[in-house]
Amino acid sequence: MNRIATALSIGAAFAAGCGVTHVLRPALAAESITAQVIHTGEMEGDKLGDANKVGFRSKMFVSADGATVSIQDGNVPKHLHPNTNEMQFVLEGTGTIWLGDKEVTVMPGDLIVIPKGTPHGGNRPDGRAIKSIAIKTPPQAPDDTKLLD
């Protein structure tokens, strides 16, 4: 009897889950996004905002439900984000960065995938500082950066 009740319960739960997916409204794109072309090559110096004490600049140019996209230029101290995944696409500069417990070489065209909680940053450029596009999901909260030694 318990097996029959369990099987029926599981079947009912599965059917309910399938039904709910057809009833719920799909996620909608954020209304704040506009069609545009962003010329990242022209974004230098003051166009990226004020530099922090180590010369790092960052400017967010798209914010949508579930993600932000910004451009970052310069050196950033080694840190992690406990609640935010990050992907960086290197536009300019070659050098090494910390990714997890390893120092890795990056160059233009590289995509760096940084799961939440992964130590990263602290780059050492070979010449020009590293400039990248950073996509963060979910959008990073102001208190979601933990500096590391």
User: Model's pTM, two decimal places?
Assistant: 0.74
Q: Which residues of the chain have pLDDT under 70?
A: 1-3, 5-32
- DSSP label of 129: P
- Say if residues 11 and 19 touch (Cβ distance below 8 Å): no
Candidate CATH numbers 2.60.120.10, 2.60.40.10, 3.30.930.10, 3.30.2320.80; the one for domain 40-147: 2.60.120.10
Domain boundaries, the chain: 40-147
